[in-house]
Structure 1
Amino acid sequence: MSKFNVVKFVTGNVVPVSEQHSRDDAGKEIGVAVRGEGEQSDSEESTSQEAQAGVQGIEAMTSVWSRSHLIAAYVMIWCIYFLNTIEQASTGALTPYVTSSFEEHSLTATTSIMSSIIGGLVQLPLSKVLDIWGRPQGYAFMSFLLTMGLVMMAACNNVQTYAAAQVFYWVGYNGLNYCITIFVADTSSLKNRSLMFAYASSPYIITVWVGGPIANWFLAHSTFRWAFGMWAILTPFITMPLWFLFMYNVRKAEKMGLMPKRESGRTTRASIKYYAIEFDIAGILILAGGLALFLLPFSLYSYQSNGWKSPMIIAMLVVGFVLLICFPLYEKFIAPKTFIPFQLLTDRTVLGAYILAAVLFVEFYIWDSYFGSFLQVVDNLTITEASYVANVYSIGSCFFAIIVGVLIRWTGRFKWLALYFGVPLTILGVGLMIKFRQPNENVGFIVMCQIFIAFSGGTLVICEQMAAMAAASHQYVAVVLAVEGMFSNIGGAIGSTVAAAIWTATFKPNLEMYLPDMPEANITAIYGDLTTQLSYEWGSSERDGIIKAYGESQKVMLIASTAVLALAVIAVAVWRDIRVKDFKQTKGMVV
């Protein structure tokens, strides 16, 4: 959830009238409705007339479909998540073996940096596709990209091609999940939405037990290529029935005259210019380029003969930094239309939710990037056993998210859950791993820490999404969740970058320190290949040296993760205590 915010403590149920007016004025300026703690929404009926075609389209669809179609849609959503979670668990377990097959195990985290950046940014233009063209169109395109990424991973012949395939895969995977998330938001009331989100992700409770054995079977009896190929075949068969249900009801709404007219009268050239502006293509390219150029050198510098002094590394850092500086300036002063309204980001609840999303993904990817390899090398677990431990987070977070959904529906509030339970428990779980994720420690203590992190993660992910959505009207749900997804994935990219930088800077020197008699060529082979690490017999001096090297590198990663979590406390504290029972945000036949 794979898929993972600072000021003074704020409480109370009443927002000063002057503050409400200032937020309302800002909202009118950009078309965003922002709400106070106890503020009742009475304008939802009118906002639909001003909403974009995709929003009007989904409201028309929910007005004409039957209860049986609503139930069928949610059953299909569960099945899609069921397939995708097995697929993601099994393919994720194979990643170290894919990079190791090209003798580039140290690039395990690096392969996810670009995919995390682009996978997060794609939700911004995708939100526009959903709002301008419609939900079914965006959903079908993401299903295609997910399938294409799996095909490319099955056919890859080097780590560069695999990294490119990961971009297609994660764009499609994140995009498909995003489309489903928006669909759930479109078809559920605000008070029930957290429970519906938890329902949609509940397959993780079952499927994490299956991903590891599937990966293990393919490694033992076939190759990783056939594993990717199998999922490439299954994906369209599972995802497309929901699209057909969408389109059936869209056509029904069109026949009843409920769908908005879409005749623009523009020429082809005018349409290209129009959509380039609507999707803020220039802004996305500046941001994506800046993030990629600035983050990648931290994991690639060790492959240059001059290290940090390499002209290529220096150029990437400088150009990337300049582009990152240029992005907010471009958005503020030049862009004809922006994806990230600055007035929306000034709302403390929305901004706090975004910062929390980024922080959770930063800290998660720092300690998780080499977790599977650690469990196999240091704790001597099989790939299946390692997958079970690594996926405790998925099981626990998805199980506890259901409890959180029930509590939010019952109490009508979410801030207290995040502030008094979620954040403290995350800090406790990650902090304890500094002690327990070391050589000669019982793996049961690692599982205990994972359970703490899982329960807190299931709480915080649901609460952060509710915070962002509760502060906006229905027509802006897609964009606020898109920006939340962008912050999450950029956080994941930063976390992967930090993990790769720590690994690159510490693991090989640690190997040289704990294996002083080992030839340099063997050290290099161990550094670059998980299979080589596992080839040394358990209990041998070589394996013990590798284990000690892992322990030292992991300790640095976990200390960094724990330090980052300090930001989460402030990010949640600034939220308004919004009562979600008070709002009607959707129309038609909804949950």
Structure 2
Amino acid sequence: MASTATCANTEHVPQGFKPAEARTTPGVARIEALFLVYSGRRAHWVLYSCIGLFAFVFSLQTSTVPTFFVISTSSFGQHSLLGAITVANTILAAVVTPFIAKIADVTSRPRAYLLSLFFMILGYILTSASQNVETLAVGQLFSNIGVSSIGFINGIVMADISPLKWRALATAIFSAPPIVNAFIAAPIVEGVLGRGVDHWRWGYAIFLIIVPAAMAPTLIVLFWAEIKAQKLALVAFANNSPVATKASVSKARTVLAQVQSYLVFLDVTGLLLVGGAFSLLLLPMTLHNQLAGGWKDKGIIIMFVFGSVLLIVFAVWELRFSEKPLMSKQILNKTMITSIVISFFYFLASTLQILFFSSWVWVAKDYTYSEWTMMNNTLSVGIAAFCLVAGAAMRYTRRYKRLQLFGEAVLIIGFGVNLYCCRADVSTAALVLGQILISFGGAFLMLCTQTAAQASVKHENMASAIALLSLWSSLGGAIGNAVATAIWTSELPKNLAKQLPDLPAEYLAMIFGSIDLARGSEPAVRARIIDAYVDTAYLIWAPALAMSFIPFIGTLFMENYYLGETQNAVEDTLITGGPATLLAEKRCALV
């Protein structure tokens, strides 16, 4: 006769329960202690609601600000600098992301939020007050650091507070606001720019106010839990953690030892080397057309040479000298390496297709600001919506590899449709179909890839793993932006001259620098301009299609981890840091 094993109810983690082991990373120790403070469901829902509110507002600004950026560069007559500024932003974001990850680990998640918010506010102030394209570029650099870092920390926090079986769906839910915000963003853009093109500054000023206000509840909840956990002695640091190091040194050496510990932990040298290397290698591709000698200019050659040397030095530093390398052996397993390859080429292909898509659509179609914004947001809306589908599928199947392969196949078809759309008489339906297919494939591919990468490492290494994935994703995007910009700035002037041989060179240069002037030209001239745009865009979107096949090959080599109750697939621990043996599901059996 069957008997039933009896065990304690583990629906809630007991108030006195402590992590199984002390953590070397204070940020991980503090976030695990959060669940010991917020032990009830109501407290959890307060936390989730605060994060959800901030995610909604943050998504709204990412759905509108890029449109203001396109218009802002054009308003200064420097639309071609869109690529150079974007490449610089992407490289900087790539370098800063591991730094923010280390800050989140060495201090705490809310402290990293505050630092990121500071950069975003500073950047938006500079951008909205800019009177020239140089100040605009500096403002964009700072704001991009803040916005990218905030989005990155959101990803870390979601991974912190969700077990593997819910990870993908939880991430998708908190990434869902673009589905609604795309329809809210369109009238916002119309309302701001409808008063005049120069009113784009107010678009930045709006979010300068509401983003900090929306982040405040999340910061209050996280800081309160951190302080209470510290008072209740629920946070355990290992002896070799930066916090323990600080406590162990003499008072005379406290500051110096702490600074040195942080510099080693952050691997500042490695970050500077990789940032400098890719800056010197990629920026010349976006600026060559502004130099008298073009590609043969001595400055371009010197930048390429020094960039290559710095890249070699970075590799030697990481392999031989760095105590806390960015690409630590602790996280470089097969799944992590494969995830990096997939993400790198996905973002390379995507940014090739995306960078000048908005500009091309504005010139080629007679859309209003509202319609243009909705078209620009089709991709983000699709990704948000299909991430929900992919997340639900992973929650149901507890696996991800087949979903990855399916998503990649749809992605390739989407890039093919997008290439077909590279015509002067393309319909809106064809444009939307291409964006929907790309968003479907991208959502399935990247959500599965991110989940796999997070599952393959310990919780203490998770932020670094996410940062490493983000680093190479950003670098792939930077390369895509640089290649797209190089093609655009080299070929569009030639195609304009070919299509409009009777117009003076000065006027063609003005058309090249302003999408508003190109769109506002008389019908016969505009038709020729559209042909020049089509010829140029084809040279960018064809390589994007070719690059999209590489992630499919990489997916074949992925591990297919089981997505269970644990924080990751390599430790038998819960999101509190405690042993998974507490779970009734895994330890109570019917005989």
TM over 0.5: yes
Which residue of the other structure, out of 540, 547, 557, is the alignment partner of 2:530? Answer: 547
The answer on 1:304 being equivalent to 2:304 is: no
Post-superposition CA distance 1:223-272 (Å, at most 9, x none): 11121111111121111210110111112111211124632434322322
Residue 200 (structure 2) pairs with residue 224 (structure 1): yes
Alignment of 1:1-150 (within 5 A): 48-65=21-38, 66-150=40-124
Which residue matches 1:361? Answer: 347
C-alpha separation in 2, matches of 1:401 and 1:498 = 28
Deviation at 1:156, TM superposition (A): 1.6
Q: How does 1:240-255 map to 2 (within 5 A)?
A: 240-255=216-231
Given that residues 153 and 162 in structure 1 are in contact (C-alpha distance below 8 angstroms), is that contact kept between their aligned partners in structure 2? yes
* Whole-angstrom distance in 2 between the partners of 1:476 and 1:525: 51
Q: How many Å separate the matches in 2 of 1:47 and 1:570?
A: 39
C-alpha deviations, 1:104-161, integer Å up to 9, x for none? 1111122111111111221212121111111111111112211221111111222222
Tell me, in whole angstroms, the C-alpha distance in 2 between the residues paired with 1:69 and 1:335: 41
TM-score (norm 1): 0.89
**Kindly tell me: are residues 160 and 264 of structure 1, through their superposed partners in 2, closer, same or farther at Cα, counting changes over 3 Å?**
farther
SS of equivalent to 2:440: helix
Task: Return the match for 1:158 from 132, 141, 150.
Answer: 132
Q: Distance in 2 between matches of 1:114 and 1:48?
A: 42
**Comparing 154-163 and 497-506, the one that deviates more:** 154-163
Could you tell me which amino acid in structure 1 is paired with residue 559 of structure 2? Answer: R
- Greater RCO (Cα-Cα under 8 Å, separation 6 or more): 1
Q: Aligned partners of 1:105 and 1:237: how far apart in 2? A: 32
Separation (CA, whole Å) in 2 of partners of 1:290 and 1:301: 17
Q: How does 1:411-422 map to 2 (within 5 A)?
A: 411-419=397-405, 421-422=406-407
CA distance in structure 2 between the partners assigned to 1:339 and 1:129 by the alignment: 13
| 8 Å CA contact 2:52, 2:174 repeated in 1 | yes
Label 1:48 to 1:491 Cα distance change in 2 as closer, same or farther (>3 A): farther
CA distance in 1, matches of 2:565, 2:302: 53
Deviations 1:450-484 (A, max 9, x none): 11111111111210111101111211111111111
3-state SS of 2:327 partner: coil
> Which position in structure 2 is the counterpart of 1:563?
546
CA contact (8 A) 2:91 2:478 kept: yes
Gaps of 5+ in 1: 1-44
Q: CA deviation at 1:510?
A: 0.2
CA displacement, residues 269-314 of structure 1 (integer Å, 9 cap, x when unaligned): 2322221111111110010011111101111010011111212111
Q: How does 1:419-458 map onto structure 2 within 5 Å?
A: 419=405, 421-458=406-443
Correspondence for 1:386 among 365, 369, 372:
372
Task: Specify which of 357, 368, 379 is matched with residue 371 of structure 1.
Answer: 357
Partner amino acid, structure 1, of 2:336 = V
Q: What are the equivalent positions in structure 2 for 1:126-525 lying under 5 Å apart? A: 126-221=100-195, 223-260=199-236, 262=243, 263-265=247-249, 266-342=253-329, 344-345=331-332, 347-419=333-405, 421-525=406-510
- Tell me if the contact between 2:399 and 2:561 (Cα under 8 Å) persists in the aligned partners: yes
Preserved CA contact (<8 Å) 2:499 2:532: yes
Partner of 2:564, secondary structure, is helix
AA aligned to 2:381 is: I
Question: Following the alignment from structure 1 to structure 2, what is the Cα–Cα distance between the partners of residues 332 and 399?
Answer: 41
8 Å contact from structure 1 (residues 53, 134) kept in 2: yes
The residue type paired with residue 250 of structure 1 is E
Post-superposition shift, 1:369? 0.7
SS at match of 2:366: coil
Q: Contact conserved, 2:23 with 2:236, CA < 8 A, in 1?
A: no
- For each residue in 1:530-569, what CA deviation from the matched residue of structure 2 results, as whole angstroms up to 9, or x when unmatched? 12112213xx221011000010011111101011112111
Between the aligned partners of 1:319 and 1:584, the Cα distance in structure 2 is 42
Give 3-state SS (helix, strand or coil) of 1:578's partner: coil
Cα distance in 2 for partners of 1:426, 1:388 equals 21
CA displacement 1:172-205 (0-9 Å, x = unmatched): 1111122121111111111111010001101010
Larger CA deviation: 382-391 vs 541-550: 382-391
| 2:295 counterpart SS class | helix
Runs of 4+ in 1 over 6 A off after TM superposition: none
CA contact (8 A) 1:397 1:454 kept: yes
Distance verdict in 2 for CA 1:578–1:432, change over 3 Å: same
For the residues of structure 1 that align with 2:293 and 2:137, how far apart are their CA atoms?
24
Name the amino acid aligned to 1:286.
Answer: L
- Deviation of the 1:380 alpha carbon: 2.0
Cα separation, partners in 2 of 1:468 and 1:94, compared to 1, 3 Å: same
Matched with 2:514 is 529
Q: What is the alpha-carbon root mean square deviation over aligned residues?
A: 1.8
CA contact (8 A) 1:85 1:208 kept: no
| Cα distance change of structure 1 residues 239 and 582 upon mapping to structure 2, 3 Å threshold | closer
Q: How many angstroms apart in 2 are the aligned matches of 1:425 and 1:350?
A: 23
Normalising by structure 2, we get a TM-score of 0.89
Secondary structure of the residue that 1:575 maps to in structure 2?
coil
CA distance in 2, matches of 1:524, 1:74: 51
Query: SS of 1:305's equivalent?
Result: coil
Q: CA deviation at 1:97?
A: 1.5
Q: Which amino acid aligns with 2:521?
A: Y
The 1:230–1:572 alpha-carbon spacing in structure 2 relative to 1, beyond 3 Å, is same
1:47 deviation in Å?
Answer: 6.7
Which of 551, 572, 575 matches 1:587? 575
Residue by residue, what CA displacement relative to the aligned partner does 1:32-61 show, whole Å, maximum 9, x if unpaired?
xxxxxxxxxxxxx98742442211111111
- Structure 2 unaligned spans of 5+: 1-17, 238-242, 569-573, 584-591
What's the counterpart of residue 38 of structure 1? none
State the identity as a percent.
29
Contact between 1:112 and 1:163, CA under 8 Å: does it hold in 2?
Answer: no
Size of the aligned set, in residue pairs, is 543
C-alpha deviation, 1:336, in angstroms = 2.7
Q: In structure 2, what residue type is equivalent to 1:269?
A: L
Contact 2:22-2:236 at 8 Å conserved across structures:
no
